[in-house]
Amino acid sequence: IEGALAKGNHLEFIGIASGKGGVGKSTVAVNLAVSLAREGKRVGLIDADIYGFSVPDMMGIDEKPGIEGKTVIPVERHGVKVISMAFFVEENAPVIWRGPMLGKMLTNFFTEVKWGDLDYLLLDLPPGTGDVALDVHTMLPSSKEIIVTTPHPTAA
C-alpha cells in the first residue's frame, strides 16, 4: 500500500474520538495539529467526521484540494496539511454512506492523498464507535487515541 500506510513509514497516527458529538473533538484535533506544527513537526489532519465535518471552517479553509494526476494534494493551513470530507461533497448536500463506502473513503485519504513526509497524521473521527472508528483500528492497530469528553452523563 502506498501513501501514509506504506510499510516502514515512521508516521505516528493519533485518532481523536468521543462517545458523543458536541464535546469539542474537532477543537482538540485542530489545536493539537497546529501546536505540533508550531513545534516544527510535519503534521497532517484528516477530518473523517462524516456527520459533521468542521475542520475546514475552524481552520479558515475556503479552497478545495489540488489534483495532480490521480493524487489529491491536501490544503495547507497554519503548517498543517488538511483533507476533509467537506472538500468532496456539495454544500448542504446530505451524506448518506454505509460502512463499505466509509472504509473506502478512509483508505483513499491514506493512499490517494500526497501527504509527503509527515511526523504525525491526526484523525478527527466521528462520534461513537461506528464504522469509521472500527475501520481506523483495523487499518492502524498501533495508532494512539485521544478520547474527548465532558462531565455529563451522556458524554461518558
Burial class (CB in 10 A: 0-12, 13-18, 19+), 74: buried
In a domain, 132, yes or no: yes
Strand boundaries in 19-107, DSSP class E: 43-47, 66-68, 71-73, 75-77, 80-84
Angstrom distance (rounded) from CA 150 to CA 156:
8
* Residue 14 CB neighbour total at 10 angstroms: 19
Determine the pLDDT at residue 52. 76
In a domain, 155, yes or no: no
pLDDT digits (tens, 9 = 90+) for 11-29: 899 989 887 888 889 999 9
Count of domains for the chain: 1
Q: In the predicted model, is pLDDT for residue 96 greater than 50?
A: yes
pLDDT greater at residue 150 or residue 115: 115
In a domain, 129, yes or no: yes
Supply the range of the domain harboring residue 140: 3-149
In a domain, 55, yes or no: yes
In a domain, 39, yes or no: yes
CA distances (Å), 106 to each of 36, 38, 60, 114, 140, in order? 23, 26, 23, 14, 11
Give the CATH number, domain containing residue 30.
Answer: 3.40.50.300
Burial class (CB in 10 A: 0-12, 13-18, 19+), 119: middle
Burial class (CB in 10 A: 0-12, 13-18, 19+), 107: middle
β-bridge partners, 146: 16
The residues near 81 (Cβ < 8 Å, ≥ 6 apart) are 43, 44, 45, 74, 75, 115, 116, 118
pLDDT digits (tens, 9 = 90+) for 3-15: 665 566 678 999 8
In a domain, 53, yes or no: yes
Helix (H) or strand (E) holding 38: helix 25-38
Q: In the predicted model, is pLDDT for residue 116 greater than 90?
A: yes
Helix (H) or strand (E) holding 145: strand 144-148
Band (pLDDT 50/70/90 cuts) for residue 1 is very low
Stretch among 46-50, 121-125, 144-148 having the lowest mean pLDDT: 46-50
Angstrom distance (rounded) from CA 21 to CA 66:
30
Determine the pLDDT at residue 80. 98
- How much is the average pLDDT of 39-44? 98
In a domain, 37, yes or no: yes
- The amino acid present at 108, given as its one-letter code, is N
In a domain, 73, yes or no: yes
